[in-house]
Structure 1
Amino acid sequence: MITDVFPRRYSKTKIRDQYYEEDRRFLNQASTIMLSGRLWDGGITEKVTDHAENSFKQAHDTLALELGVEFLSDRWIFRTTEYNGNKTTQSYKNSYATICKNFLIKAPSDLSLGDAWVKDRIGLIEIAFSLREKQLALADIELPQKIRDAERAATMMPSPRVIRVPGNRVEAIKTMHQRRREVFSELVIELNERMKLALYKLTYNNGLIQISDDELTSSEIEEPFWPLISQSPWENVDIQMKEAIDCRDTGDRMAAFHAVSALESCIKIISQSKGWSTGKEKGAANFVDNLVSKNNGGFISVWESEVLKSLFSNVRNPFAHGAGSSEMPTLTVEQTNWTIETAMTWIKSLIRRL
């Protein structure tokens, strides 16, 4: 399976012209975040647990495969000792946590290679955070069953041989789950702040590290946007908006198309979840009509429906159909950024009305 990794995604986009002190500092800080126990175990221990080591291996193997190497850094250490004139060489196997740490903190011998060097290492950070996000999403799904099991166990008479620890097991499970979620959110904030301090125009959101050129746009539009679409039923909105940003960052003219498609997905989800969809809709405009309909309570105003429809007819539709012998539709960089930011703002507004 081919993984969409940061260094390949941004291979044609320069983020560094050489390796700087800010890079060394950031990558050391990132290795500390990943090894501290906060990322993989929610801060319940500072040790590299079996769960953390397995996670490091999974992140390592994913990036190593895409970079075409067996190990990101040395798997074995060889040490030679001498006693009574006899030399003995012993070998030691590095853990995957150590391999990943050494990969992150190693500086290039040629500082001019900084761009590719930093991208590879940001790729590992992205994979690690994305993996942890998936683990937490799975934990969300498993949580109700764990609570039911704990409630059932609480009603059963304990065996005389079993020592029951005082306290509410159900509340402990909920608290631990919530704490792990909170710690991860704190780490995402820290990662984004440290990338900003390192002078990278990058942000991590919902499994991807992407370029964010405008600091005001990032803080006012993007930062509150991504948490809203991080969970069901907004998965397609998340995927399509990430496609829009990837296309924008690589100069692909389809960026605006994906952004407005994400908005269309949001509108469809709301229409369907409210029971307003009839199955006879032929396009985005019909789903907008469902939202503005007085019979449905006027979820949006008439003027809002007109603005939304204009985005589909004037921005999205020209890219959705073949141009024939006409000139291919394109937008300027400024128009593309405006479309993405506008789609994000609309999606935030619509979800917050639910």
Structure 2
Amino acid sequence: MAFWRKKDTKTEADDTSKAALFGNRSNEKSSGGPAAQANPYAVPPPPYQAQAPSYRPPADNDRNALFAGRSQGQGRNMYAQQPPPQQPAPGSSYGRPPPSAGGYGADRELTAEDEEEEDVEAIKQQIRFTKQQSVNSTRNALQVAAAAEETGRNTLARLGQQGERLHNTEKNLDITANHNRVAEEKARELKTLNGSMFAIHVKNPMKSKSRARAEEERILQQHQADREERERTRQAGFQSREAVGRALQGRGSAPGGAKMSLAERSKYQFEADESDEEKEREIDQNLDQLAAITGRLKGLAMATGEEVDRQNTQIDRIMRKSDKVDDQIAITHARIKKIR
């Protein structure tokens, strides 16, 4: 009886150790599926916990520590840097595609004829570009020349207006000189009439006729001098207006040479197509217009210079007449002041 009790006691002790090691597997429902339920010694998966710390049995920690070096070595070997591929040696054909046998898209070596055609085409393009630049240059030059001609015409027209004003000024100075001479004679007569009433004025019959003839001669000479002065003034104004008018109305072209013949033009043409002929005609027309404008500009410049010289001479003449009239007015004024 004591033996069986010892056996029972040993059995109960083993059950207690199993229960402490594996837990009460019979009372707990495994969540690992049918295989976990069939194996009473299987370890169930831990329940999901959001912030619960992980727990590893001592056996798992020992196994990880034992195989840690092997797993890390395998990872390093897996992602280790591979050696670079070897480059083929210069001159060797290893790794290169075979040369093309002249199929579609292959580079073709240019022949001498092809190179000559390319050179000819490049020369053609250069000729077209240069000729277009020549057309543009003639257009710009024609535009600038037209603007210069317009400026010259405006300048000459203003000089003509200034000449008209100078002519009127000189004519008025001539009239002022005549009026001043009349005033001088009247002042002399007033001085005679304002003399004393007791003064006896006896005329000499022998000298009265000669004095009258001398006075008439003086008056006639003065009248002729005044007329000649007026004529000179009028003639100067007429010449100024005539010169300015001719210069402003000048539309003649410059005496240029003959038109360029087709044979001469062909020297500067590589391929005389329609476009090239049109450019050549435009260049010729622009050059002809430039020559005509240049001739008119020369006429305007010469007319402007002559008009400036004429007006300078007229201004000097006006200054002399103005000084003479001023002196006559001063003398007449002094004579009138002496009359008592």
Higher percent of residues as helix? 2
Larger Rg: 2
Query: Whose RCO is larger (CA < 8 A, sep 6+)?
Result: 2
TM-score normalised by structure 2 residue count: 0.22
Higher percent of residues as strand? 1
TM-score normalised by structure 1 residue count: 0.21
